[in-house]
Amino acid sequence: MAFLSWHERFSVGHAELDQQHRRLFELVNHFDDVIQMGMPEELPHIVDDLIRLSEAHFRFEMGLILDTGFPRVVEHGKMHEELLDQVRVMRRSMMVGGHVSPKAVVRFLADWLTSHILREDMEYKPFLTA
Ligand SMILES: [Fe+2]
Ligand SMILES: [Fe+2]
């Protein structure tokens, strides 16, 4: 069963952004599937994909909202950077065999992604669609 499932309430009203968010959901689900399959050696590669996809998404999203008059654009960018920093730290811990529970990582990613879209990305929605 998929860990995260898409719902209309996640839509920010922009087809490409929604598509990118869906792809991030799929990657988090893939991470969870790989845990279930008992293939921990694959997890760092998925984290790499997740970092790459997130970087591209954040760049695209920031590019779109920069000129909309959305007042919290700087703070928004900071949240993206903080997330990337946290994920890079987790990635390093996984590689050196640190005490990182893959389940805790996937739960963190799922929570971050869903709450960021619902609380933060939703704030720019009216500016984007204006
Ligand atoms: Fe986003
Ligand atoms: Fe965002």
CA separation for the pair 97, 1 (Å, rounded): 28
The predicted model gives 46-51 an average pLDDT of 97
How far does the centroid of ligand 2 lie from the alpha carbon of residue 62, in Å? 8
The answer to whether 22 and 6 are in contact (CB under 8 A) is yes
User: Is residue 12 a contact partner of residue 124, using CB atoms and an 8 Å limit?
Assistant: yes
Q: What is the pLDDT of residues 91-121, one digit of tens each?
A: 998 888 777 899 999 999 999 999 999 999 9
Q: What is the pLDDT of residue 114?
A: 98
Nearest residue to 23 via CA among 35, 10, 13? 10
Going from N- to C-terminal start, the domains of the chain cover: 14-129
Alpha carbon of 89 to ligand 2 centroid (Å): 20
Distance CA 35, CA 105 (A): 11
Q: What ligand is nearest to the CA atom of residue 75?
A: 2
Question: Rounded mean pLDDT of the chain?
Answer: 94
- Place 1 in a pLDDT band, splitting at 50, 70 and 90: low
Question: Residues with beta carbon < 5 A to ion ligand 2?
Answer: 121
Give the model's pLDDT for residue 129: 84
Please write the tens of the pLDDT for every residue from 49-94. Answer: 999 999 999 999 999 999 899 999 999 999 999 999 999 999 998 8
Show the tokens assigned to 115.
């709450």
φ, ψ (nearest 5 deg) of residue 6: -75, 145
**Residue 71 CA, ligand 2 centroid: distance in Å:** 14
Report residues near ion ligand 1: CB below 5 Å: 61, 121
**38 Cα: distance to centroid of ligand 1 (angstroms):** 30
- The pair of structure tokens assigned to 66 is 């920069």
Q: Which CATH architecture has domain 14-129?
A: Up-down Bundle (1.20)
C-beta of residue 70 within 8 angstroms of C-beta of residue 41: no
